[in-house]
Amino acid sequence: MLYKFQSRATPDFVMLEVHARQLLDIVGKPAAPQGIITVEQIPAAIAALESALAREANNSHNHDDHVVEGHANDAEKQHVSLHQRAAPLLHMLRDSLAEEKDVTWST
């Protein structure tokens, strides 16, 4: 399943369910089929994402606690870190805050 994130301040983007659920959990939102991060909630969501990214940066292995050790195969070499997965949502949140627009998602 895919989650589609939208804001009137930015282009839409889609994300796999597993990654969307992780990011929604970080910002304190339930991974419901539809939801909203209001303009008033955006600063806390940004702070939560930045805090999670700072914690991951302390991990010396690709900045991600969930990475597989060894890099023996191509899938492990192409691991996508939390920093990379969070970037689209973080950009959307920042731009939406600047333009005072809510962020929504749907499946």
Q: What is the pLDDT of residues 1-41, one digit of tens each?
A: 999 999 999 999 999 999 999 999 999 999 999 999 999 99
Mean pLDDT value of segment 43-69:
76
Which of the pair, 79 or 9, is modelled with greater confidence?
Answer: 9
**HSE (side-chain half, CA atoms, 13 Å) at 26:** 25
Residue 2 and residue 96: Cα distance in Å, rounded?
21
pTM for the structure as a whole:
0.82
Q: Which residue has the higher pLDDT, 59 or 17?
A: 17
Confidence of residue 79 (pLDDT cuts 50, 70, 90): low
Q: Please report which confidence band the pLDDT of residue 47 belongs to, taking 50, 70 and 90 as the band edges.
A: very high
65 vs 56: CA distance, rounded Å: 7
Look at residue 78 in the predicted model and tell me its pLDDT: 61
Nearest to 19 by CA among 81, 101, 97: 81
Output the pLDDT for position 37.
Answer: 98
